[in-house]
Amino acid sequence: MGVLSAQTTTRHHELGIQLEQSYGFMYGAPLNFKTLYKCGKTDQAVWRLQLGNIQFGHNYYEPSQQQSTWMSLGGSIGREWRKDLNSNLRFFHGPLVGAEMSMSRSVSEVPPGTDNSYYYIMPNLIYVLGIQYRINQDFYVAAEIHPGFNTQFNYNDGNWSPNRYMSGGLNGQAALLSVAYQFETYKKGKSKKARGIVRIPE
């Protein structure tokens, strides 16, 4: 049997879900989930792709005959580096760039009638700081905080608003908690669960 390092024969992947304590961007709920995908040559340094919560809704108010439709979404991309503290515990950190957008439209059928549209765009730049605990070879849990900065632009009824908003500090009221499944794939595309050393028949 020939032995090859997983570092040179495979690519590392992680799929996870993150629970965020947040008040949302425009119509957010107190608790919402985000999906995480991370990949790299090894699990020591990975690219991080994150899709924020996607929400939408439609309301109708009978007294004013007003209809309201809204939708919000967000995402981010970044880099993550890790340092082993012991066999199961890791410290990780890295920059993350993202944006959130919320759109809404309000239409009233009462004369003379109104039709208003609103768009809110919030780009952000943060630095992730976190601790990761390995449950076993396949799963881990992590807690992280997001110090950073964000700003907001408003576009209403065909015009950009002159008002600008900027804030910084820790995003959210508590640490973000996540759980993820990790696995390896061969560079030729064949999937194999992570087991440390990949053994290939001679």
E strand residue ranges, 6-160: 10-21, 31-42, 45-51, 55-61, 66-84, 89-108, 114-134, 139-145, 147-156, 159-160
Give me the residue label for tokens 């064949």.
190
Domains of the chain plus CATH, in order, are 2-55+74-100+117-200 (2.40.160)
pLDDT at 181: 96
Task: List the Cα angle 196/199/202 in 5-degree steps.
Answer: 165
Model-level pTM greater than 0.75? no
Q: Looking at 24-28, 79-83, 163-167, 185-189, which range is the least confident one? A: 24-28
**Predicted confidence band at 200 (pLDDT cuts at 50, 70, 90)?**
very low
Q: What percent of the chain has pLDDT over 90?
A: 34
Tokens (6 digits) for 123: 């780009």
Dist CA 196 CA 97 (whole Å): 31
Taking only the tens place, the pLDDT of each residue in 139-172 is 999 999 888 888 888 888 777 777 767 676 665 4
Average per-residue pLDDT in the chain? 78
- Higher-confidence residue of 188 and 179: namely 179
- Taking 70 as the threshold, does the pLDDT of residue 124 lie above it? yes
Three-class DSSP category at 113? coil
**H helices within the chain, ranges in order?**
6-9
Residues in the chain, how many?
Answer: 202
Of 13, 15, 19, the C-alpha closest to 46 is 13
